[in-house]
Structure 1
């Protein structure tokens, strides 16, 4: 049986109904915030859970403190005398995720670059660059990365 909580089978002290209750709570966090739980270790005195958040369309990201609280809300009713320890891994966006059409324009202005200089440096033809800068063409993740690292490198060498 596929479970939402990785290694849920390690919680041998819980019955199937209790495990199902945990699964329902975990499924909601996965669906609405892309937060997942992994049972790392279970002893008579402690329960160690790793909680991680990945990229989500809602962009509703939790910090470490919030991830710990979410984990406590899911697992605290099922501890039965065990101490809960949480390893929280918040979502860390890729640097290129900040790249937007406005960001490119701002960087061009700050670095005093013209479109023709970007064409030459990046090997992008004039019409494609114009469409990208104006927002008429969506950028792929690779394109965003290219722009991000170009502007970051340009800051270092100038």
Structure 2
């Protein structure tokens, strides 16, 4: 499977070896920064490419300008006669990524909530909530989402 979505649109402009080298360059960005490329439209003298970044381990994310630059680094060498229009899509972290035991305690203090009240309102047993608040038990993404929206209202 191709790393560059829509790469078949370039097959008329590039030979097989050039396509492979283009794929290798894109694969490097995918592995290192979780950046992907999608060729949306190819016209006689221009190409429209969407460049997006998903969540990665390092937690460092590219700006729109950086995504545009990286797209040109990958494609300009192989498509010098084309005007490459880049549509950057930066990574937006989930609002629930702030949820941790410290955040829970802070929000509970701000709102004057106790574990018993959260258990009553959510239907989740008190022991589980106490373990999440104390950090004894890790929270799944669903639990983080529930607590985020419950405590953000």
Same fold per superposition (TM over 0.5): yes
> Partners of 2:2 and 2:136 in 1: how far apart?
42
**Match of residue 5 from structure 1:** 4
Matches within 5 A, 1:4-153: 4-11=3-10, 12-153=12-153
> 1:58-91 deviations in whole A, cap 9, x for unaligned?
2222121111111111111122221110011111
> 1:156 maps to what in 2?
none
- Structure 2 SS opposite 1:37: strand
Shift of 1:43: 2.3
Contact 1:51 1:89 in 2 (8 A): yes
Q: Secondary structure at the match of 2:109?
A: helix
Mapped to 1, the partners of 2:53 and 2:123 lie a distance apart of: 36
Distance 2:21 2:79 in 1: 13
Alpha-carbon contact 1:47-1:79 (below 8 Å) kept: no
SS state at 1:127 partner: helix
TM-score of the aligned structures, taking structure 1 as reference length: 0.89
Deviations 1:12-31 (A, max 9, x none): 21111211111111111111
Pairs aligned (count): 152
Output the CA distance in 1 between the equivalents of 2:59 and 2:49. Answer: 23
Q: Which runs of 5+ in 1 are unaligned?
A: 154-158
Unaligned runs of 5+ in 2: none
